[in-house]
Structure 1
Protein backbone atom coordinates (compact mmCIF):
# COMPACT_ATOMS: atom_id res chain seq x y z
CA UNK A 1 0.00 0.00 0.00
CA UNK A 2 1.21 3.42 -0.70
CA UNK A 3 1.47 5.51 2.48
CA UNK A 4 -1.37 7.94 2.20
CA UNK A 5 -2.99 10.39 4.57
CA UNK A 6 -6.69 10.04 5.39
CA UNK A 7 -7.72 12.98 7.58
CA UNK A 8 -10.64 11.16 9.20
CA UNK A 9 -10.44 7.79 10.95
CA UNK A 10 -13.73 5.88 10.70
CA UNK A 11 -14.56 2.42 8.87
CA UNK A 12 -16.75 -0.47 7.09
CA UNK A 13 -19.08 -3.11 8.33
CA UNK A 14 -17.84 -6.60 8.97
CA UNK A 15 -20.10 -8.06 6.30
CA UNK A 16 -18.42 -5.77 3.76
CA UNK A 17 -15.03 -6.99 4.95
CA UNK A 18 -16.13 -10.63 4.69
CA UNK A 19 -17.25 -9.97 1.14
CA UNK A 20 -13.91 -8.40 0.31
CA UNK A 21 -12.06 -11.32 1.89
CA UNK A 22 -13.64 -13.64 -0.70
CA UNK A 23 -11.50 -11.88 -3.27
CA UNK A 24 -8.43 -13.58 -1.83
CA UNK A 25 -9.41 -16.92 -3.35
CA UNK A 26 -6.71 -18.17 -5.74
CA UNK A 27 -6.66 -17.02 -9.34
CA UNK A 28 -3.74 -16.62 -11.80
CA UNK A 29 -0.31 -14.79 -12.01
CA UNK A 30 0.62 -11.12 -11.79
CA UNK A 31 1.74 -9.93 -15.21
CA UNK A 32 4.52 -7.78 -13.81
CA UNK A 33 6.08 -10.65 -11.86
CA UNK A 34 9.38 -11.79 -13.40
CA UNK A 35 10.06 -15.36 -14.40
CA UNK A 36 12.04 -17.43 -11.90
CA UNK A 37 15.77 -17.13 -12.44
CA UNK A 38 15.54 -13.84 -14.33
CA UNK A 39 19.04 -12.34 -13.85
CA UNK A 40 17.66 -8.79 -14.01
CA UNK A 41 16.07 -9.23 -10.58
CA UNK A 42 19.21 -8.25 -8.73
CA UNK A 43 20.17 -11.75 -7.57
CA UNK A 44 23.78 -11.24 -8.70
CA UNK A 45 25.93 -9.87 -11.55
CA UNK A 46 24.64 -10.46 -15.06
CA UNK A 47 26.52 -13.16 -16.97
CA UNK A 48 28.86 -11.79 -19.63
CA UNK A 49 26.66 -13.12 -22.43
CA UNK A 50 23.42 -11.56 -21.06
CA UNK A 51 22.59 -7.97 -22.00
CA UNK A 52 20.98 -5.79 -19.32
CA UNK A 53 17.21 -5.84 -19.79
CA UNK A 54 15.43 -4.40 -16.76
CA UNK A 55 11.97 -5.72 -15.97
CA UNK A 56 9.16 -3.14 -15.98
CA UNK A 57 8.86 -1.14 -12.77
CA UNK A 58 6.29 -2.59 -10.34
CA UNK A 59 4.83 -0.04 -7.89
CA UNK A 60 2.37 0.36 -5.04
CA UNK A 61 0.98 3.42 -6.85
CA UNK A 62 -1.29 4.98 -7.91
CA UNK A 63 -4.16 3.52 -5.84
CA UNK A 64 -4.43 2.49 -2.18
CA UNK A 65 -3.72 -1.10 -3.23
CA UNK A 66 -0.30 -2.66 -2.71
CA UNK A 67 1.21 -5.23 -5.05
CA UNK A 68 3.01 -8.41 -4.06
CA UNK A 69 6.18 -7.74 -6.04
CA UNK A 70 9.27 -6.27 -4.35
CA UNK A 71 12.14 -4.11 -5.56
CA UNK A 72 14.98 -6.18 -7.11
CA UNK A 73 17.84 -6.89 -4.70
CA UNK A 74 20.38 -4.08 -4.64
CA UNK A 75 18.10 -1.59 -6.45
CA UNK A 76 16.49 1.61 -5.16
CA UNK A 77 13.01 2.73 -6.15
CA UNK A 78 11.40 6.11 -5.54
CA UNK A 79 7.60 6.43 -5.55
CA UNK A 80 6.21 9.87 -4.75
CA UNK A 81 3.29 12.22 -5.02
CA UNK A 82 4.21 15.49 -6.68
CA UNK A 83 1.17 17.21 -5.15
CA UNK A 84 -1.56 15.69 -2.97
CA UNK A 85 -4.75 17.51 -1.90
CA UNK A 86 -7.52 16.19 0.36
CA UNK A 87 -10.75 17.89 1.44
CA UNK A 88 -13.05 16.73 4.21
CA UNK A 89 -16.19 18.44 5.52
CA UNK A 90 -17.68 17.13 8.74
CA UNK A 91 -20.19 18.82 11.07
CA UNK A 92 -19.63 22.16 9.35
CA UNK A 93 -15.84 22.02 9.68
CA UNK A 94 -13.88 21.93 6.41
CA UNK A 95 -10.30 20.62 6.40
CA UNK A 96 -7.92 20.89 3.45
CA UNK A 97 -4.67 18.92 3.63
CA UNK A 98 -1.90 19.47 1.07
CA UNK A 99 1.27 17.39 0.80
CA UNK A 100 4.09 19.00 -1.17
CA UNK A 101 5.59 15.75 -2.43
CA UNK A 102 5.26 12.55 -0.42
CA UNK A 103 8.26 10.34 -1.28
CA UNK A 104 8.60 6.65 -0.49
CA UNK A 105 12.13 5.29 -0.98
CA UNK A 106 12.43 1.51 -1.34
CA UNK A 107 15.52 -0.71 -1.32
CA UNK A 108 15.68 -4.37 -2.31
CA UNK A 109 17.50 -6.31 0.39
CA UNK A 110 16.80 -9.74 -1.10
CA UNK A 111 15.18 -11.45 -4.04
CA UNK A 112 11.75 -11.20 -2.43
CA UNK A 113 12.27 -8.59 0.31
CA UNK A 114 12.46 -4.80 0.40
CA UNK A 115 12.48 -2.07 3.04
CA UNK A 116 10.60 1.19 2.53
CA UNK A 117 10.74 4.63 4.15
CA UNK A 118 8.16 7.39 3.64
CA UNK A 119 7.86 10.95 4.92
CA UNK A 120 6.20 14.08 3.57
CA UNK A 121 8.85 16.81 3.86
CA UNK A 122 6.20 19.54 4.12
CA UNK A 123 2.44 19.59 4.47
CA UNK A 124 -0.24 22.06 5.45
CA UNK A 125 -3.56 21.48 7.21
CA UNK A 126 -6.07 24.34 6.80
CA UNK A 127 -9.20 24.14 8.95
CA UNK A 128 -12.25 26.37 8.42
CA UNK A 129 -14.63 26.31 11.38
CA UNK A 130 -18.41 26.65 11.18
CA UNK A 131 -18.19 30.31 12.34
CA UNK A 132 -15.84 31.17 9.45
CA UNK A 133 -12.60 31.29 11.47
CA UNK A 134 -9.57 29.65 9.84
CA UNK A 135 -6.46 28.03 11.30
CA UNK A 136 -3.48 26.69 9.36
CA UNK A 137 -0.86 24.27 10.64
CA UNK A 138 2.16 23.14 8.66
CA UNK A 139 5.34 21.13 9.00
CA UNK A 140 7.01 17.83 8.27
CA UNK A 141 4.80 14.73 8.08
CA UNK A 142 4.99 11.49 10.03
CA UNK A 143 7.72 8.93 9.27
CA UNK A 144 6.62 5.49 8.04
CA UNK A 145 8.95 2.48 7.86
CA UNK A 146 7.81 -0.81 6.42
CA UNK A 147 9.13 -4.19 5.29
CA UNK A 148 7.57 -6.18 2.43
CA UNK A 149 8.19 -9.92 2.10
CA UNK A 150 6.82 -11.83 -0.90
CA UNK A 151 5.45 -15.20 0.22
CA UNK A 152 4.92 -16.91 -3.13
CA UNK A 153 7.45 -18.20 -5.66
CA UNK A 154 7.88 -16.38 -8.95
CA UNK A 155 5.99 -18.98 -10.95
CA UNK A 156 2.97 -19.05 -8.65
CA UNK A 157 -0.27 -18.01 -10.31
CA UNK A 158 -1.59 -15.98 -7.38
CA UNK A 159 1.03 -13.65 -5.88
CA UNK A 160 0.94 -12.85 -2.14
CA UNK A 161 3.12 -10.76 0.16
CA UNK A 162 3.03 -9.56 3.75
CA UNK A 163 3.81 -5.97 4.76
CA UNK A 164 4.57 -4.73 8.26
CA UNK A 165 4.59 -0.96 8.89
CA UNK A 166 5.38 1.35 11.81
CA UNK A 167 4.60 5.07 12.00
CA UNK A 168 6.82 7.37 14.06
CA UNK A 169 5.10 10.65 15.08
CA UNK A 170 7.62 13.05 13.53
CA UNK A 171 4.75 15.41 12.59
CA UNK A 172 3.91 15.96 16.25
CA UNK A 173 0.33 16.81 17.24
CA UNK A 174 -0.10 19.86 14.99
CA UNK A 175 -0.10 18.11 11.62
CA UNK A 176 -0.44 14.49 12.84
CA UNK A 177 -1.81 12.93 16.01
CA UNK A 178 1.54 12.69 17.82
CA UNK A 179 1.24 8.92 18.38
CA UNK A 180 3.12 5.78 17.36
CA UNK A 181 1.00 3.46 15.21
CA UNK A 182 1.43 0.35 13.05
CA UNK A 183 -0.25 -2.10 10.71
CA UNK A 184 0.04 -5.48 9.01
CA UNK A 185 -1.26 -6.05 5.46
CA UNK A 186 -1.53 -9.04 3.11
CA UNK A 187 -1.64 -7.95 -0.56
CA UNK A 188 -2.97 -10.55 -3.00
CA UNK A 189 -2.68 -10.11 -6.80
CA UNK A 190 -4.77 -12.32 -9.09
CA UNK A 191 -4.77 -12.02 -12.91
CA UNK A 192 -8.19 -12.54 -14.46
CA UNK A 193 -9.37 -13.25 -18.01
CA UNK A 194 -9.23 -10.46 -20.62
CA UNK A 195 -6.04 -9.01 -19.06
CA UNK A 196 -7.73 -7.77 -15.88
CA UNK A 197 -5.89 -8.02 -12.56
CA UNK A 198 -7.71 -8.27 -9.23
CA UNK A 199 -5.98 -7.00 -6.09
CA UNK A 200 -7.19 -7.22 -2.52
CA UNK A 201 -5.26 -6.27 0.61
CA UNK A 202 -6.76 -7.15 4.01
CA UNK A 203 -5.09 -5.08 6.71
CA UNK A 204 -5.15 -4.72 10.50
CA UNK A 205 -4.12 -1.37 12.01
CA UNK A 206 -3.22 -0.51 15.58
CA UNK A 207 -4.31 3.14 15.84
CA UNK A 208 -4.28 5.67 18.65
CA UNK A 209 -7.58 6.76 20.17
CA UNK A 210 -8.73 10.26 19.38
CA UNK A 211 -9.58 13.07 21.77
CA UNK A 212 -9.08 12.60 25.50
CA UNK A 213 -9.30 8.78 25.42
CA UNK A 214 -5.88 7.27 26.00
CA UNK A 215 -4.76 3.99 24.47
CA UNK A 216 -5.16 2.21 21.14
CA UNK A 217 -7.79 0.37 19.15
CA UNK A 218 -8.00 -1.92 16.11
CA UNK A 219 -8.96 -0.86 12.62
CA UNK A 220 -9.81 -3.25 9.77
CA UNK A 221 -9.10 -2.21 6.19
CA UNK A 222 -9.72 -3.89 2.86
CA UNK A 223 -10.27 -3.12 -0.80
CA UNK A 224 -11.13 -4.57 -4.17
CA UNK A 225 -9.06 -3.20 -7.03
CA UNK A 226 -9.41 -4.01 -10.73
CA UNK A 227 -6.79 -2.88 -13.23
CA UNK A 228 -6.51 -3.23 -16.98
CA UNK A 229 -3.85 -2.19 -19.52
CA UNK A 230 -4.72 0.40 -22.15
CA UNK A 231 -2.45 0.15 -25.14
CA UNK A 232 1.18 -0.77 -24.55
CA UNK A 233 2.20 1.54 -21.70
CA UNK A 234 -0.92 2.74 -19.83
CA UNK A 235 -3.03 1.11 -17.11
CA UNK A 236 -6.35 2.18 -15.60
CA UNK A 237 -7.65 1.24 -12.13
CA UNK A 238 -11.01 1.16 -10.34
CA UNK A 239 -11.16 0.46 -6.62
CA UNK A 240 -13.60 0.16 -3.73
CA UNK A 241 -11.97 0.78 -0.33
CA UNK A 242 -13.37 0.20 3.15
CA UNK A 243 -12.25 0.80 6.72
CA UNK A 244 -13.80 0.10 10.12
CA UNK A 245 -12.58 1.56 13.40
CA UNK A 246 -13.29 -0.12 16.74
CA UNK A 247 -12.52 3.00 18.70
CA UNK A 248 -13.98 3.42 22.20
CA UNK A 249 -17.08 5.63 22.27
CA UNK A 250 -17.35 5.91 18.48
CA UNK A 251 -16.94 3.04 16.08
CA UNK A 252 -16.73 4.47 12.60
CA UNK A 253 -16.86 3.42 8.97
CA UNK A 254 -15.24 4.86 5.85
CA UNK A 255 -15.93 3.97 2.21
CA UNK A 256 -14.45 5.37 -0.98
CA UNK A 257 -14.54 4.76 -4.74
CA UNK A 258 -11.11 5.33 -6.29
CA UNK A 259 -10.07 5.88 -9.90
CA UNK A 260 -6.51 6.08 -11.22
CA UNK A 261 -4.29 5.78 -14.27
CA UNK A 262 -0.57 5.23 -14.85
CA UNK A 263 1.70 5.56 -17.87
CA UNK A 264 5.18 4.08 -18.26
CA UNK A 265 7.50 6.44 -20.10
CA UNK A 266 10.26 3.84 -19.89
CA UNK A 267 10.64 0.45 -18.20
CA UNK A 268 11.84 2.18 -15.05
CA UNK A 269 9.89 5.48 -15.09
CA UNK A 270 6.15 5.78 -14.49
CA UNK A 271 3.75 8.75 -14.22
CA UNK A 272 0.34 8.51 -12.53
CA UNK A 273 -2.71 10.34 -11.19
CA UNK A 274 -5.64 9.35 -8.97
CA UNK A 275 -8.90 10.53 -7.40
CA UNK A 276 -10.48 9.11 -4.24
CA UNK A 277 -14.19 9.89 -3.81
CA UNK A 278 -15.68 9.54 -0.33
CA UNK A 279 -18.97 7.63 -0.16
CA UNK A 280 -20.11 8.62 3.35
CA UNK A 281 -19.82 11.63 5.64
CA UNK A 282 -16.96 10.18 7.71
CA UNK A 283 -14.71 9.75 4.66
CA UNK A 284 -12.82 12.68 3.09
CA UNK A 285 -15.03 13.87 0.23
CA UNK A 286 -12.27 14.12 -2.34
CA UNK A 287 -8.55 13.40 -2.61
CA UNK A 288 -6.59 14.23 -5.77
CA UNK A 289 -2.92 13.60 -6.46
CA UNK A 290 -0.38 13.03 -9.18
CA UNK A 291 3.08 11.55 -8.97
CA UNK A 292 5.87 9.48 -10.42
CA UNK A 293 7.93 6.37 -9.75
CA UNK A 294 11.45 5.48 -10.89
CA UNK A 295 13.90 2.66 -10.21
CA UNK A 296 17.66 3.15 -10.17
Structure 2
Protein backbone atom coordinates (compact mmCIF):
# COMPACT_ATOMS: atom_id res chain seq x y z
CA UNK A 1 0.00 0.00 0.00
CA UNK A 2 1.42 3.37 -1.01
CA UNK A 3 0.30 5.52 1.94
CA UNK A 4 2.78 4.19 4.57
CA UNK A 5 5.69 4.67 2.15
CA UNK A 6 4.77 8.27 1.48
CA UNK A 7 4.17 8.92 5.20
CA UNK A 8 7.64 7.67 6.16
CA UNK A 9 9.16 9.56 3.24
CA UNK A 10 7.38 12.79 4.27
CA UNK A 11 8.38 12.43 7.93
CA UNK A 12 12.03 12.06 7.02
CA UNK A 13 11.81 15.06 4.70
CA UNK A 14 10.53 17.19 7.59
CA UNK A 15 13.35 15.92 9.81
CA UNK A 16 15.96 16.66 7.16
CA UNK A 17 14.72 20.18 6.40
CA UNK A 18 14.27 21.25 10.02
CA UNK A 19 17.38 23.44 9.80
CA UNK A 20 17.41 26.57 7.65
CA UNK A 21 18.99 26.39 4.22
CA UNK A 22 22.19 28.30 4.93
CA UNK A 23 24.95 28.46 2.27
CA UNK A 24 27.94 26.28 3.19
CA UNK A 25 31.33 25.39 1.82
CA UNK A 26 31.45 22.52 -0.67
CA UNK A 27 32.17 19.13 0.91
CA UNK A 28 34.91 17.00 -0.58
CA UNK A 29 34.42 13.52 -2.02
CA UNK A 30 30.74 12.99 -1.28
CA UNK A 31 29.83 11.17 -4.49
CA UNK A 32 27.53 8.14 -4.17
CA UNK A 33 29.23 6.48 -7.12
CA UNK A 34 31.14 4.36 -7.93
CA UNK A 35 30.72 1.19 -5.88
CA UNK A 36 27.91 -0.77 -4.24
CA UNK A 37 27.95 1.01 -0.87
CA UNK A 38 26.42 4.43 -0.13
CA UNK A 39 28.32 7.09 1.87
CA UNK A 40 26.54 8.75 4.83
CA UNK A 41 27.66 12.24 3.80
CA UNK A 42 25.20 14.71 2.25
CA UNK A 43 25.56 17.59 -0.19
CA UNK A 44 26.14 20.94 1.57
CA UNK A 45 23.12 23.28 1.92
CA UNK A 46 22.42 24.94 -1.43
CA UNK A 47 24.81 22.60 -3.25
CA UNK A 48 23.85 20.64 -6.36
CA UNK A 49 25.57 17.48 -7.60
CA UNK A 50 24.75 15.51 -10.77
CA UNK A 51 25.89 11.88 -10.88
CA UNK A 52 25.61 10.11 -14.24
CA UNK A 53 26.35 6.58 -15.36
CA UNK A 54 27.39 7.31 -18.93
CA UNK A 55 26.99 3.68 -19.99
CA UNK A 56 26.81 0.28 -18.31
CA UNK A 57 26.65 -3.25 -19.69
CA UNK A 58 25.61 -6.38 -17.82
CA UNK A 59 25.64 -10.02 -18.87
CA UNK A 60 23.79 -13.01 -17.47
CA UNK A 61 23.79 -16.37 -19.20
CA UNK A 62 23.05 -20.04 -18.70
CA UNK A 63 23.25 -23.12 -20.88
CA UNK A 64 19.88 -22.13 -22.42
CA UNK A 65 20.01 -18.37 -22.92
CA UNK A 66 22.08 -15.19 -22.77
CA UNK A 67 20.91 -11.73 -21.64
CA UNK A 68 22.78 -8.50 -22.45
CA UNK A 69 21.56 -5.22 -20.93
CA UNK A 70 22.85 -1.74 -21.81
CA UNK A 71 21.91 1.30 -19.72
CA UNK A 72 22.71 4.83 -20.91
CA UNK A 73 22.65 8.07 -18.94
CA UNK A 74 21.39 6.75 -15.59
CA UNK A 75 21.44 9.96 -13.53
CA UNK A 76 20.79 11.24 -10.02
CA UNK A 77 20.47 14.92 -9.13
CA UNK A 78 21.30 15.55 -5.45
CA UNK A 79 20.42 18.84 -3.73
CA UNK A 80 21.55 19.88 -0.25
CA UNK A 81 18.69 21.31 1.80
CA UNK A 82 20.18 21.37 5.33
CA UNK A 83 23.46 20.84 7.18
CA UNK A 84 22.63 17.15 7.55
CA UNK A 85 20.16 16.58 4.74
CA UNK A 86 19.64 16.27 1.00
CA UNK A 87 16.96 15.30 -1.48
CA UNK A 88 17.54 13.55 -4.78
CA UNK A 89 15.77 12.55 -7.97
CA UNK A 90 16.97 9.78 -10.27
CA UNK A 91 16.07 8.65 -13.79
CA UNK A 92 17.35 6.20 -16.39
CA UNK A 93 16.74 7.82 -19.82
CA UNK A 94 17.33 4.64 -21.82
CA UNK A 95 17.90 0.93 -21.28
CA UNK A 96 17.82 -1.95 -23.72
CA UNK A 97 17.91 -5.71 -23.11
CA UNK A 98 18.59 -8.47 -25.63
CA UNK A 99 17.76 -12.05 -24.67
CA UNK A 100 19.00 -14.80 -26.98
CA UNK A 101 17.71 -18.36 -26.80
CA UNK A 102 20.79 -20.48 -27.47
CA UNK A 103 18.82 -23.63 -28.30
CA UNK A 104 16.31 -22.07 -30.71
CA UNK A 105 18.78 -19.47 -32.04
CA UNK A 106 16.17 -16.75 -31.52
CA UNK A 107 16.54 -13.33 -29.90
CA UNK A 108 14.15 -10.86 -28.32
CA UNK A 109 14.87 -7.20 -27.57
CA UNK A 110 13.04 -4.66 -25.39
CA UNK A 111 13.96 -1.03 -24.76
CA UNK A 112 12.56 1.91 -22.83
CA UNK A 113 12.95 4.65 -20.27
CA UNK A 114 13.28 3.79 -16.58
CA UNK A 115 11.26 4.79 -13.53
CA UNK A 116 11.78 7.98 -11.49
CA UNK A 117 13.20 7.63 -7.98
CA UNK A 118 12.82 10.23 -5.22
CA UNK A 119 14.98 9.96 -2.10
CA UNK A 120 15.81 11.77 1.13
CA UNK A 121 19.01 11.30 3.14
CA UNK A 122 19.59 12.47 6.70
CA UNK A 123 23.08 12.17 8.23
CA UNK A 124 24.05 12.16 11.90
CA UNK A 125 27.20 13.44 13.59
CA UNK A 126 29.54 16.07 12.17
CA UNK A 127 27.93 17.62 9.08
CA UNK A 128 31.13 17.42 7.01
CA UNK A 129 32.17 13.95 8.24
CA UNK A 130 29.16 11.89 9.41
CA UNK A 131 29.53 8.26 10.41
CA UNK A 132 25.93 7.13 9.83
CA UNK A 133 22.85 8.24 7.89
CA UNK A 134 19.39 7.04 6.93
CA UNK A 135 18.21 7.13 3.33
CA UNK A 136 14.61 6.51 2.26
CA UNK A 137 13.40 6.25 -1.33
CA UNK A 138 10.25 5.74 -3.36
CA UNK A 139 10.13 4.91 -7.07
CA UNK A 140 7.29 6.01 -9.37
CA UNK A 141 6.40 3.55 -12.17
CA UNK A 142 6.72 5.86 -15.17
CA UNK A 143 9.05 3.66 -17.20
CA UNK A 144 8.92 0.44 -19.16
CA UNK A 145 10.87 -2.81 -19.34
CA UNK A 146 13.68 -3.64 -18.98
CA UNK A 147 14.42 -1.01 -16.29
CA UNK A 148 10.84 -0.11 -15.30
CA UNK A 149 9.29 -1.97 -12.35
CA UNK A 150 5.63 -1.56 -13.50
CA UNK A 151 4.49 -0.53 -9.99
CA UNK A 152 5.47 1.62 -7.02
CA UNK A 153 8.48 0.45 -5.01
CA UNK A 154 10.31 1.82 -1.99
CA UNK A 155 12.90 1.12 0.63
CA UNK A 156 15.43 2.35 3.15
CA UNK A 157 19.17 2.08 3.70
CA UNK A 158 21.48 2.83 6.62
CA UNK A 159 24.84 4.02 5.21
CA UNK A 160 27.75 3.69 7.67
CA UNK A 161 31.32 4.90 7.21
CA UNK A 162 34.18 4.11 9.60
CA UNK A 163 37.64 5.65 8.99
CA UNK A 164 40.38 3.07 9.62
CA UNK A 165 43.23 5.46 8.78
CA UNK A 166 43.84 8.65 6.82
CA UNK A 167 43.78 6.61 3.60
CA UNK A 168 41.40 3.69 4.30
CA UNK A 169 37.68 3.70 5.10
CA UNK A 170 35.24 0.90 5.87
CA UNK A 171 31.73 1.31 4.42
CA UNK A 172 28.55 -0.63 5.20
CA UNK A 173 25.09 -0.20 3.69
CA UNK A 174 22.36 -2.48 5.07
CA UNK A 175 19.06 -2.09 3.21
CA UNK A 176 15.46 -3.27 3.02
CA UNK A 177 13.17 -2.84 0.02
CA UNK A 178 9.59 -3.44 -1.06
CA UNK A 179 9.73 -4.56 -4.69
CA UNK A 180 7.32 -5.88 -7.30
CA UNK A 181 6.71 -9.62 -7.57
CA UNK A 182 8.15 -11.33 -10.61
CA UNK A 183 4.57 -12.01 -11.74
CA UNK A 184 3.99 -8.24 -11.99
CA UNK A 185 1.28 -8.26 -9.31
CA UNK A 186 1.86 -7.57 -5.61
CA UNK A 187 4.99 -6.82 -3.62
CA UNK A 188 7.55 -8.65 -1.48
CA UNK A 189 10.60 -7.77 0.60
CA UNK A 190 14.23 -7.90 -0.36
CA UNK A 191 16.96 -7.19 2.15
CA UNK A 192 20.70 -7.42 2.59
CA UNK A 193 23.82 -5.34 2.84
CA UNK A 194 26.87 -4.11 0.99
CA UNK A 195 30.25 -3.70 2.62
CA UNK A 196 33.59 -2.55 1.33
CA UNK A 197 36.87 -0.73 1.69
CA UNK A 198 37.80 2.59 0.08
CA UNK A 199 41.48 3.43 -0.44
CA UNK A 200 42.78 6.95 -1.04
CA UNK A 201 45.69 6.33 -3.42
CA UNK A 202 46.44 10.04 -3.89
CA UNK A 203 44.69 13.41 -3.71
CA UNK A 204 43.08 12.69 -7.09
CA UNK A 205 42.74 8.90 -7.20
CA UNK A 206 40.60 6.50 -5.19
CA UNK A 207 40.05 2.72 -5.32
CA UNK A 208 37.08 0.76 -3.92
CA UNK A 209 36.43 -2.93 -3.43
CA UNK A 210 33.17 -4.26 -2.03
CA UNK A 211 30.71 -7.13 -1.79
CA UNK A 212 26.90 -7.09 -1.74
CA UNK A 213 24.44 -9.77 -0.62
CA UNK A 214 20.73 -9.32 -1.33
CA UNK A 215 17.96 -11.76 -0.38
CA UNK A 216 14.91 -11.59 -2.68
CA UNK A 217 11.79 -13.19 -1.18
CA UNK A 218 9.73 -13.44 -4.35
CA UNK A 219 6.70 -15.73 -3.76
CA UNK A 220 7.53 -17.82 -6.81
CA UNK A 221 11.25 -18.29 -6.13
CA UNK A 222 13.48 -17.00 -3.35
CA UNK A 223 16.98 -16.06 -4.47
CA UNK A 224 20.14 -14.56 -3.00
CA UNK A 225 22.27 -12.32 -5.18
CA UNK A 226 25.98 -12.08 -4.33
CA UNK A 227 28.17 -9.54 -6.10
CA UNK A 228 31.86 -8.68 -5.82
CA UNK A 229 32.70 -5.18 -7.03
CA UNK A 230 35.77 -3.08 -7.74
CA UNK A 231 36.02 0.50 -8.98
CA UNK A 232 38.35 3.43 -9.57
CA UNK A 233 37.61 7.16 -9.28
CA UNK A 234 39.69 10.04 -10.66
CA UNK A 235 39.08 13.58 -9.33
CA UNK A 236 40.89 16.20 -11.46
CA UNK A 237 39.23 18.97 -9.42
CA UNK A 238 36.90 19.52 -6.45
CA UNK A 239 33.94 19.77 -8.84
CA UNK A 240 34.57 16.87 -11.20
CA UNK A 241 34.98 13.09 -10.95
CA UNK A 242 35.36 10.33 -13.53
CA UNK A 243 34.88 6.69 -12.56
CA UNK A 244 34.83 3.16 -13.91
CA UNK A 245 34.17 -0.18 -12.34
CA UNK A 246 32.95 -3.72 -12.55
CA UNK A 247 30.62 -5.99 -10.57
CA UNK A 248 31.00 -9.76 -10.79
CA UNK A 249 28.42 -12.37 -9.85
CA UNK A 250 29.47 -14.92 -7.24
CA UNK A 251 26.51 -17.29 -7.69
CA UNK A 252 23.99 -18.34 -10.33
CA UNK A 253 21.29 -15.91 -9.12
CA UNK A 254 23.47 -12.91 -9.99
CA UNK A 255 24.38 -11.38 -13.37
CA UNK A 256 27.79 -12.71 -14.43
CA UNK A 257 29.35 -9.31 -14.97
CA UNK A 258 28.51 -5.59 -15.08
CA UNK A 259 30.92 -2.97 -16.40
CA UNK A 260 30.31 0.78 -16.18
CA UNK A 261 31.79 4.26 -16.59
CA UNK A 262 30.42 7.49 -15.15
CA UNK A 263 30.93 11.10 -14.19
CA UNK A 264 30.07 13.32 -11.20
CA UNK A 265 29.73 17.09 -11.58
CA UNK A 266 29.29 19.58 -8.73
CA UNK A 267 27.61 22.88 -9.62
**TM-score normalized by structure 1?**
0.78
Which residue, out of 235, 254, 258, partners 2:206?
235
| Aligned mate of 1:260, from 222, 225, 231 | 231
Runs of 4+ in 1 over 4 A off after TM superposition: none
**Where in structure 2 are the equivalents of 1:154-233 lying within 5 Å?**
154=127, 159-173=131-145, 175-193=147-165, 195-211=167-183, 214-233=185-204
1:241–1:186 Cα change, 3 Å:
same
| Count of equivalent residues | 246
Give, in angstroms, the shift of residue 179 of structure 1. Answer: 1.7
Q: Distance in 2 between matches of 1:93 and 1:151?
A: 46
2:98 alignment counterpart: 126
1:249 to partner: Cα distance: 3.0
Give the equivalent residue in structure 2 for 1:137. Answer: 110
Distance in 1 (CA, whole Å) between partners of 2:46 and 2:75 is 19
CA contact (8 A) 1:57 1:294 kept: no
Task: Check 1:292–1:55 CA distance in 2 against 1; reply closer, same or farther (3 A cut).
Answer: same
In structure 1, C-alpha distance between the alignment counterparts of 2:220 and 2:135, rounded to whole Å: 30
1:75 pairs, out of 47, 65, 73, with: 47
Aligned equivalents of 2:147, 2:263: Cα separation in 1 = 24
Partner of 1:89: 61
- For 2:8, the equivalent position in structure 1 comes to none
Q: What is aligned with 2:13?
A: none
Aligned to 1:281: 252
Q: Following the alignment from structure 1 to structure 2, what is the Cα–Cα distance between the partners of residues 123 and 155? A: 35
- Preserved contact between residue 163 and residue 185 of structure 1 (Cα < 8 Å): yes
SS at match of 1:172: coil
**Ranges in structure 1 where 5+ consecutive residues have no aligned partner:** 1-41, 46-52
| Shift in alpha-carbon separation, 1:155–1:115, aligned structure 2, 3 A | closer
Deviations 1:16-59 (A, max 9, x none): xxxxxxxxxxxxxxxxxxxxxxxxxx7337xxxxxxx7442411
RMSD, aligned α-carbons: 1.8
Structure with the larger strand share: 2
